[in-house]
Copies of this chain bind each other. A is one copy, B any other.
Amino acid sequence: MQTRILSADDTRALVRRVGLDALMDQLIQDLEEAIHGYDPDHTEIPVRAGFDYELPAPGLLEWMPACNGSKVTVKIVSYHATNPVRRGLPTVISTISAYEVGTGHLLGVVDGTLLTALRTGAASALASRVLAAPDSRTLGLIGCGAQAVTQLHAISRSFPIDKVLVYDSDPDVAASFPARVAFMNLEVEIADLDHVVGEVDILCTATSVDPGAGPVLQEQATQPWLHVNAVGSDFPGKLELPASLLRRAFVTTDFPEQAMKEGECQQLAGSEIGPSLSDLIREPERYRDVRQQLSVFDSTGWALEDQVVMDLFMRHARDLGLGSEIEIEHVSPDPHDPYGDLHGDLHTSIVQREFAA
């Protein structure tokens, strides 16, 4: 039983050969199809759980499992807001593994760091396609870290964006943003927070605000048709949007139960939350009027997205001959004998230890 492992070099080679734009376009399409076909009676996705701690750095390490009847995907994802400054590492570090239903065999392991950023961008693009004005030209970004890059990339593949307004509480992170997204050939302007929120057609919030320190935005005037992808809120007490803005908006979520526990929807009663992203994608025409109204996609992260992005990378890896096959599980020739093939040098080993003693 072989396990297919994509190394970081394999992942880099894969992305370079497929191309970032093509990969993002495929991911958005695959994710749309998966969400369209999503059936909770067939695909089981529990609310994620994990460990949170204060030392050696305040952070989280969570597991996000999904079972689709033939395969279980488990993403292990960590969040450490101090990683970039303290360790030169991304805020989010992750790996995704897949297991065969019916045996439990580990099918494969891939990076989840880049893949999480990609799929989070793709999910915002899908929510925006249903809820934002189709002619949206200005995109705002609150928080200019790693997730902001893929938010902009995914949404710019879906809308005629020609101007990007960005804000980060750390001026250095804002200042470095234009160079990071130069490959998209868009006009990027660093602005103050109110200016960003007030002017744009689509807004993405992806900050590392501490739990209890938010919301990042205060109530203020926005474009009447503003669509917000709220990406950062993913822990009890962590909030980016004010409750008053949420209450004025049409609110959708990737995963309602989780959003009420960890997302912006912590601030809402269940009855104040609109249909889920999968409802929207199944019947986009039904929500056409929302495009003229304020709307929020509360994106806490959904294991279905991880399954889709892993599948896409594994498919390309197979086609391109990338990755290594390693047998990891020790499966003895006799299923009833865990020691079946282990007796080889046992006697020698015992003799050696007797000599050594």
Contacts and interface: CB of A to CB of B under 8 A. Distances in A.
Interface of A: 5-9, 11-12, 15-22, 44, 46, 49-51, 53, 55-57, 59, 61, 63, 65, 67, 69-70, 72, 74, 76-80, 83-84, 87-95, 97, 99, 101-106, 109-115, 117-118, 144-146, 149-150, 153, 173, 176-177, 180, 183, 324, 326-332, 334-346, 349-350, 353
Q: How many copies of this protein are present in the complex? A: 2
24 contacts: A7-B326, A8-B327, A8-B329, A8-B331, A17-B349, A18-B349, A19-B345, A22-B350, A22-B353, A49-B49, A50-B65, A53-B69, A53-B101, A78-B99, A80-B102, A95-B329, A114-B332, A114-B342, A146-B337, A146-B338, A177-B336, A180-B336, A180-B340, A183-B339
A337 B83 CA distance: 13
Given A69-B53, A111-B329, A104 B78 contact: yes
B95 A77 contact: no
B16 A349 contact: yes
A28 B237 CA distance: 43
B83 A103 contact: yes
Contact of A80 (B18, B93, B104, B346): B104
Contact of A329 (B20, B80, B94, B339): B94
A57 B110 CA distance: 27
Contacts of A109: 106, 109, 328
A77 B65 contact: no
Q: Which 6 A-B pairs rank lowest in CB-CB distance, beginning with the nearest?
A: A78-B104, A19-B349, A84-B335, A114-B330, A16-B345, A111-B330
A269 B21 CA distance: 59
A20 B346 contact: yes
A284 to B, nearest CB: 27
A173 B346 contact: no
A73 to B, nearest CB: 11
